[in-house]
Amino acid sequence: MGKELKLLLPLIENHSVITLNDIAFHTGKIGMHDVTAMQCGIGKVNAAIGALTMIENFHPNLVINTGVAGGAGGGAGILDVVVGDRVAYHDVWCGPGTEWGDAAGCPRYFTSVPEISALPCLNDNPRIKHGLICSGDIFVSKVEEVERIKSVHPDVMAVDMESASIAQVCYLKNVMFFCVRVISDTPGGDDNIAQYENFWEDAPKHTFEALKMVVTSI
């Protein structure tokens, strides 16, 4: 979303903008690397269109998906950073003979690049967690929604609406993928919506330093 992009753009030096498929792509550098950033928008279709447009026009070696997610247990609290070592769908079912969460022709779990997940900068901070992020086309705000997702993926740590679709595009196009998200709220809590709304005012910009650490460490 636009609020997320505003946290990211200050990290980019020599910033310029190119528009493709009505999507603004922000190019420049973070550290020694050439980067292209985009605001994919909310939901799986927007994310997939954006990811494919980026891959076909900028030919990245690595796609990093960053943004916010809701906490789903596993010890990740508000403003904690979750590295999506694994990413999956929670709202996909392709019919009899298949399992909930399995996209046709794809593995059950998409994985972030293990060498990046293992970077010391992502493992020596107690506010950075590692786990499973699950995606679906719903803003998860109720405890029963979290419980349904856990019935499909019991070890889910965070939920969002884009990561799995970006990971699937990367898988199909043979591009390396990495996912890191910041917890904005805890679905099922009495003040879930207030948590989400207040996050944008309370979240310091250094929350996105995890992304900068990754890019400058690889």
Question: Per the structure block, which two tokens stand in for 87?
Answer: 């990413």
Residues in the chain: 218
> Is there a catalytic annotation at residue 91?
no
- Exactly one of 85, 91, 185, 197 is catalytic; which is it? 185
Asked if 131 and 138 count as a contact pair (C-beta separation under 8 A), the reply is no
Burial of 218 (0-12, 13-18, 19+ CB in 10 A): middle
Cα separations (Å) of 65 from 88, 172, 183, 194, 211? 14, 16, 14, 25, 9
In this structure, the number of other CB atoms found within 10 A of the CB of residue 202 comes to: 12
Cα separations (Å) of 23 from 1, 19, 64? 12, 5, 17
Angle, helices 163-172/44-58, rounded to nearest 10 degrees: 40
In this structure, the number of other CB atoms found within 10 A of the CB of residue 149 comes to: 24
> Is there a catalytic annotation at residue 13?
no
- Exactly one of 4, 145, 160, 162 is catalytic; which is it? 4
Q: Report the C-alpha gap between 160 and 152 in whole angstroms.
A: 15
The catalytic residue positions are: 4, 185
